[in-house]
Amino acid sequence: MNEETDISIDPEKELSKLPLVYRILGRVEAVGNKLPHPATLFVILAALVLLLSGIATYFGASVVHPGTGEVIKSVSLLNTEGLHRILTNLVTNFTGFAPLGVVLVALLGVSVAEASGFVSAIIRLVVIKAPAKLLTLVVCFAGVVSHIASDVGYVVVIPLGAVVFHAVGRHPLVGLAAAFAGVSGGFAASIFISPSDALLAGITQEGARILDPLYVVTPAANYYFMSASAFLVTIVGTIVTEKVIAPRLGEYKAGPDVDVQAEELTSLTPLERRGLIYAAIVVALIVAVILAGTLPSNGFLLDPKTGSFLTSPFLRGVIAVIFFSGVLIGLAYAWGAKTMKNDTDVMKAMEGGMKTLAAYLVLAFFAAQFVAFFNWTNLGLIVAVEGADFLKSLNIGGVPLIISFVIVTVILDLLVGSASAKWAVMAPVFVPMLMLLGYSPELTQAGYRVGDSVANIITPLMSYFPLIVVFAQKYDPKAGIGTVIALMMPYSIAFFLSWTLLLVVWYLFGIPVGPGAPIYYTPAAG
């Protein structure tokens, strides 16, 4: 064990003997973990929102929505109407909490694949064959490319990163951090066009048409920049993992209350190999069905109205695809490897998966109430509009403007989790404003996406943050919000500096951010 750097294993160690960065992170973790239980924290935050809603409404807090012209007023929940709203929506707030269904449904399918032995066999096969030096790089990159499958990276890639690192004898939280950095810290970076590209492009286009009614922004508007960003995030994430996170955590020693065994890296048995062959056949069939439904222009998995892949039932139902794939692959492996006897074993596998989410369900209930209360009060929208007005009032241009815009977006990301909701407020202000200064809507959108990504991994208000805490507690029961924030802060800082620098360099060299998407805006003739 690395006695000079391992502050997580020995909390009584004198911090003064550690490098400055570790001392800072140690203090962040210590302070963060002194906060109440994460579920209790959301209760406190919800109560604070109730109080602030009453105060803001008493003083008449309001703003004008820059896109619709509608007056947005703060809404108090400290009255009879607010009480009725809370009572009648308590259940639906929870059942309608966006990450909840994604996590539960995906895990049902993944649990079958895991209980069958398929996941274990794949990990052993990959880890034994793959060069150890590339493991961190692969985990980071897997997180980045997972965006094409919506939020599945949070449910599959992040816990898998921990499992893989544990299997090779490394600290599982190092693998979790590397995967989380790729999935969420680099959320906008991707070599594939995803549904979020189409969603944000539509909002950007509406903002641009305030000034230019015929302006068109395509889903590929940031493709060049975001493709380069995918490799930047992967490389920077790998460096931070190996140079900062791994040395700080040191060697992993599971406590007596940790019931997680590392995968034994033994060679596959003949039955396991046969199971993998059966599973591979099912994977091939699933891929064939997906390709048959998405490649032809009239594919049965495409949007029946527009023929679009980005708005297709396939992408919108990718969690269902994960569920069915997990079940079918798990069954195929179990058949070949003879690891499950009957349907009772399959159902027990799903039950086992649900048991692991008990803590998350409690967290999700209170997190859902907080998010709902915050949305009802309009406090997030008011803060976003005021922040946009502040940046506009600075009246600066060029590189300082780009950097300031990214910083404002980062700050707002700590308060408003939804990328589309935040952009719906900011785009009508910044897109036409920067167009008047000669900057294209596509460049503005790229700047927004940088700022919107880098703070995801350090704000407890991000929808999936409670789930990451639960994943961490699987290996360290004492882990809390402070543990995860301290773990991810180096990534957030490194991504902010390097990604913003890439955007500035892109701007200075005048490189198009996407196909037909130049840096500068030139009004159409006539």
Average pLDDT, the chain: 82
Residue 4 lies in a domain: no
Residue 393 lies in a domain: yes
Q: How many residues does the chain have?
A: 526
Q: Which residue has the higher pLDDT, 192 or 204?
A: 204
Residue 520 lies in a domain: no
For residue range 84-130, what is the model confidence (pLDDT) as tens digits? 999 999 999 898 876 677 778 877 887 888 788 887 777 667 666 66
Q: Would you say residue 329 has pLDDT above 80? A: yes
- Range with the lowest mean pLDDT among 6-20, 59-73, 438-452, 467-481? 6-20
Residue 524 lies in a domain: no
Q: Which residue has the higher pLDDT, 53 or 109?
A: 53
Tell me the β-bridge partners of 514: 517
Exposure class string for 407-418: b at 16+ Cβ within 10 A, else e: ebbbbbbebbbb
Residue 6 lies in a domain: no
Kindly report the backbone phi and psi dihedral angles of residue 342, in degrees, each rounded to the nearest multiple of 5, phi listed first.
-155, -175
- What predicted TM-score, i.e. pTM, was given to this entire model? 0.70
- Residue 332's pLDDT band (cuts 50, 70, 90): very high
Residue 226 lies in a domain: yes
Tell me the β-bridge partners of 63: 72
DSSP letter (8 states) at residue 514: B
Highest mean pLDDT among 135-144, 226-235, 252-261, 371-380: 226-235
For residue range 120-178, what is the model confidence (pLDDT) as tens digits? 777 667 666 667 778 899 889 888 887 665 566 787 788 888 888 888 888 999 999 99
Domain membership of residue 121 as a residue range: 15-254+265-508
For residue range 335-389, what is the model confidence (pLDDT) as tens digits? 999 999 888 999 998 888 787 677 778 877 887 888 788 889 888 778 767 766 7
Q: Which residue has the higher pLDDT, 270 or 168?
A: 270
Residue 2 lies in a domain: no
- Residue 12's pLDDT band (cuts 50, 70, 90): very low
Contact 108, 350 (CB under 8 A): yes
- Range with the lowest mean pLDDT among 46-50, 231-235, 424-428? 424-428
Owner of token pair 């596509």:
442
Q: How many domains does the chain have?
A: 1
Can you tell me the mean pLDDT for 66-93?
A: 88
Residue 260 lies in a domain: no
Contact 232, 189 (CB under 8 A): yes
Q: Find all residues with CB under 8 Å of 254, minimum gap 6, and list them.
A: 260, 475
Highest mean pLDDT among 251-255, 349-353, 494-498: 494-498
For residue 392, the one-letter residue type is K
Distance of alpha carbon 143 from alpha carbon 134, whole angstroms? 14
